[in-house]
Structures are given as structure tokens and as C-alpha cells.
Structure 1
């Protein structure tokens, strides 16, 4: 059914929730004297800092993003690859499935947060936040991926963990699979598939 599988990164391939939210809390507290409860920051998951930071009253976006990335290093120990992901990527590679990434991370963030886990070699194409003018939930990142990869929309699926991922896939005209292992409020997110475990992805290849 699919010959191209496009992955989100945070909350889908690697578990970065503690690192992303913890470092953001630290930026807000240390640099802006703002104490924000964790539950009030969940909305930032899945969208670029340039879009989420203004909603927190931050105006110097570039500096705040730079500080956010700086503090991420303090939380790197909490990041891990979701159980089963590497086996799935290896299986897909063995079946000649094109694999790629569409992420709200910048290229620098991807290098810092994702590359160390050794999964980049499975990915033939990557679209980061600085590769497009508009970002999720706008469809431009996935459309960019389809353009550079030459993938067929009808044979491609995007797998992510947020409503932003769903909306991006929907408006790009490709199917969407929801990664329940990294998702919050899955009842409110539409998806063609809701995968309980990474291994369940293999079942949609036929």
C-alpha cells in the first residue's frame, strides 16, 4: 500500500518531551522570570519555537530559541529512542521502503537532538523547519518532502503524534498514522491509523 513512510521526530521516533518542556521551563524561569506549569506548555510540542514562543509573551524569538537549545543540553540525558523504533526502521529498510523525516526542528536542533542516536542513516530525505517558509500545521513541509523525494502522494503516509501532524498530512493530501506511544489526547485527533506500538506500522505495508 505504501512505499514511502515519513516520520515526525519528537514524540514519534524519540521521546523528547521531558527535555523540550524542561528546558523551556528553564528558559522562561531563568531568562524571563516566568514560572509556567508543565501542563500549560504542552501546546508547544510539535510546532517550531518561532510559532510557540510568541504565545508565551516572548518577543526576542531568535535569542529565546538559542537559549532554549542551550538548555536542552542539560536535559539530553532524558531523551531516548522509543522502544521498537530501530527494529521498525531496519525492517522498512530491508523491504526497500523509502523513509524520511518532516520535523518542526531546525537543522541544528536535528543534529543536536536526533543524530546522536544513529537513526539518520535510515532516512533518505529530511525536511526541517528552516527548509520551508511555512510550518506545520501548514502542509508546506510535507509538500516539500514530496517534491524533493519524488514520492507518490497516494503511496505515502506521514506518522506523527500531534494534531499539527494530522493537519499537515491531511492538507498535503497524504494518509496519516497517529503514534499513540508519544501522543496526548488521541481521542481528539483524527487519523487513518492509530498505531499502539511502532511495530504496528509494518502491518500497513500490504
Structure 2
């Protein structure tokens, strides 16, 4: 077995939240600044903490606007779903005694509100959220925190995510990465250790199985 620790991003990797995130952010900016941004203009917000995205958009009253964004996000909650095949993959990894972890740009509260009701949280031994570290993806600190907490070796660990921030976080920490393509249009020339076309490709890496 190549890796004994498999760590996942959440949004765009385990669950499909892109429309909910972008549409609610678009609605928030329209509400707060009176500007309607194209959804493509807001894609930079995928994979980084919400507060960081708002700072990049020139928002000053972060607490107030984060609340507005959360309220709008909840309006799109029925569009959030687990990607096909994820549950089966997690079950197989767990049955092979692989330690499963999460590194997410969500705060702990966002993790509890957005993810824990989807029936996947019991698979994961360790969850590193945005409020667990000072620096965030693409910085190495979230992965370093995971390695420290679990005593995992870098060479035994792989991080699976759908964005350049995920890949850079892993790379900066000296950990292998796998780019999940089922949550995005293409690889955008992102340099990752592996490229996954479907969740079953995770098994191909670990056990020489494929889609």
C-alpha cells in the first residue's frame, strides 16, 4: 500500500458546492456593493477561507458580510450533494485501515453546518479547519498541522483536492498531491503528483484498481 494517510479537501472534492458558493457570493456582493460580478470572476474564492475571499473583494466589515453570505449560502443548500462514488471509496479505504483526514478552508462551524449532516464525517479521524491554523492553503501550515497531530510521515501521506491551493499546500509541505478532476472542468496546467478523473482512481493509486 503506497499511502497510509489519505487526506481530503471538502468543497469540490467530497461534495459539490461550487454553485452554492459562487451564487451566494455573487448575491452577497450585489447586496453589499451593488455590483453584479460574473460567476467566473468569483471562482478564485473556491478553496480559500471565506474571509480571505471577501478581503480580496475589498470588503471591510467582514463579520457582517460573512453573515450575509452565510444566509444566502443557506438558500442554495438543496443544491449541495456528495459526489457519486465518494461514499463507497471512503468505505473501502476505511476497511483497509487507512487513516482518513480532512484539511478544509471551512471554519469549524461551517464544517459542522455544511458537512456533518451529509453522513460522511464518521469516516474521518482528523479534521483540520481554517480556525485551527494561522496560515491557510496554499501555505503548508494546514498540512503540517495534520502531520503533527497524527505523527504521519510525509511519504506516507497524500492530499486530494480540486484546486491549485490544495496542490500547493501539499507541495509546500513536502507531501504528494492528487488533483480531483470530477469537481472541475480541467487541470488548468496545475502540476500535481497524480490526476484523478473519478473517485475510483484513488483506489488505482493505492491498490492498482481503476474506474
- Asked if the contact 1:53–1:61 (Cα under 8 Å) also holds between the matched residues in 2, the reply is yes
Residue by residue over 1:110-167, the C-alpha shift from the partner in whole angstroms, topping out at 9 and shown as x without a partner, is 1111111010000000000001000000010010011111111101000000111111
Structure 1, unmatched stretches of 5+, are: none
Report 1:64-83 matches (<5 A): 64-83=65-84
What is the match of residue 181 of structure 2?
180
What is the match of residue 137 of structure 2?
136
Structure-1-length-normalised TM-score:
0.97
The offset of 1:184, in angstroms, is: 4.1
Query: 1:113 & 1:32 partners in 2: Cα distance?
Result: 26
The offset of 1:185, in angstroms, is: 4.2
Number of matched pairs = 206
CA RMSD of aligned residues (A): 1.0
What is the match of residue 42 of structure 1?
43
- Asked if the contact 1:162–1:184 (Cα under 8 Å) also holds between the matched residues in 2, the reply is no
SS at match of 2:13: coil
Query: 1:153 & 1:116 partners in 2: Cα distance?
Result: 31
SS at match of 1:158: strand
What is the match of residue 88 of structure 1?
89
Report 1:51-200 matches (<5 A): 51-200=52-201
SS at match of 2:131: helix
Structure-2-length-normalised TM-score:
0.95
SS at match of 1:46: coil
What is the match of residue 4 of structure 2?
3
Query: 2:162 & 2:181 partners in 1: Cα distance?
Result: 7
SS at match of 1:135: coil
What is the match of residue 205 of structure 1?
206
The offset of 1:65, in angstroms, is: 1.4
- Asked if the contact 1:179–1:197 (Cα under 8 Å) also holds between the matched residues in 2, the reply is yes
The offset of 1:34, in angstroms, is: 1.8
What is the match of residue 17 of structure 2?
16
Moved over 2 A (4+): none
